[in-house]
Amino acid sequence: MPRYTGTKRAILDATLELAATKGITGTTMDEVAERAGVAKGSLYYNFSSKDRLFEELLQEGVGALADTLLEARAGLHGRAALEALIGALLDGIASNTALAKLMASEIFRTDRTWQRTLFALRHEALAVFAEAIAEARPGSRDNGTCGLMASSVFGAVLMSGLEWLVFDPERHRDEVSAAILDSFSGGLLGD
């Protein structure tokens, strides 16, 4: 995954900030150029189209998230691996809230030109959770069930994380983390 610098970096950063609040379709190339401090012509020199610009943005962002999750799980097993993944995802959302908002709003859209790219990356990130779940309870669950449970955990962290950061930023990170862990530790439906 290539890391960009210079003009491309400035354009991608401006694009992400704008898209997080206005959405992708609602973000114009004129606004991106202005925020990035370049002319519109430079946008099209560095990225062949608006679609390609957003495809590269999502590729970089979601790819980095998948890498973060892989690192967080490394060397850990069972319950410890899952707790580390939940914490790492929550921290990832906190440190790149713009990307998280963008992911939440784009992840279930099926009309984009970059649909297949985003689908593969999303699958990659979810697979880290699914594998950790499968390993935690070997033999007792099929792959599909582990995938669903991975979605369940991912959705829980994404939603409560954004709830915190967007609507209730005063709250402390550890409160959010504790509420999520409590939910999945049987605090809601357990015994």
For residue 12, the minimal CB distance to a copy of itself (Å) is 21
* Residue from 13, 17, 38, 107 binding DNA (CB under 7 A): 38
Question: Which does residue 98 touch among a copy of itself, DNA, none (CB within 5 to 8 A, set by kind)?
Answer: none
Residue 42 found at the interface with DNA (CB under 7 A): yes
Ordered DSSP codes for 102-122: HHHHHTT----TTHHHHHHHH
Closer Cβ to a copy of itself, 21 or 95, answer by number: 21
Question: Which does residue 174 touch among DNA, a copy of itself, none (CB within 5 to 8 A, set by kind)?
Answer: none
* Residue from 51, 71, 142, 175 binding DNA (CB under 7 A): 51
Dihedral-angle region of residue 2 (phi above 0 means left; psi in -120 to 50 means alpha; beta otherwise): beta
User: Which residues, 6 or more positions from 11, have their beta carbon under 8 angstroms from its beta carbon?
Assistant: 32, 36, 38, 42, 43, 46, 47, 53
Residue 29 in tokens: 């190339």
For residue 45, the minimal CB distance to DNA (Å) is 4
Question: Which does residue 38 touch among a copy of itself, DNA, none (CB within 5 to 8 A, set by kind)?
Answer: DNA
Residue 29 found at the interface with DNA (CB under 7 A): yes
Minimal CA–CA distance to 130: which of 151, 160, 104, 155? 151
What span, in angstroms and rounded, lies between the C-alpha atoms of 57 and 11? 10
Residue 39 found at the interface with DNA (CB under 7 A): yes
For residue 153, the minimal CB distance to a copy of itself (Å) is 7
Residue 2 found at the interface with DNA (CB under 7 A): no
Closer Cβ to DNA, 19 or 125, answer by number: 19
Q: Count CB atoms within 10 A of the CB of residue 116.
A: 9
What span, in angstroms and rounded, lies between the C-alpha atoms of 53 and 29? 10
Question: Which does residue 50 touch among a copy of itself, DNA, none (CB within 5 to 8 A, set by kind)?
Answer: DNA
Please count the CA atoms within 13 angstroms of the CA of 136 that sit on its side-chain side.
18
What span, in angstroms and rounded, lies between the C-alpha atoms of 39 and 42? 6
Q: Candidates 49-57, 59-67, 80-88, 174-182 — which segment interacts with DNA by CB under 7 A?
A: 49-57
> Total residues contacting DNA (rule CB under 7 A)?
19
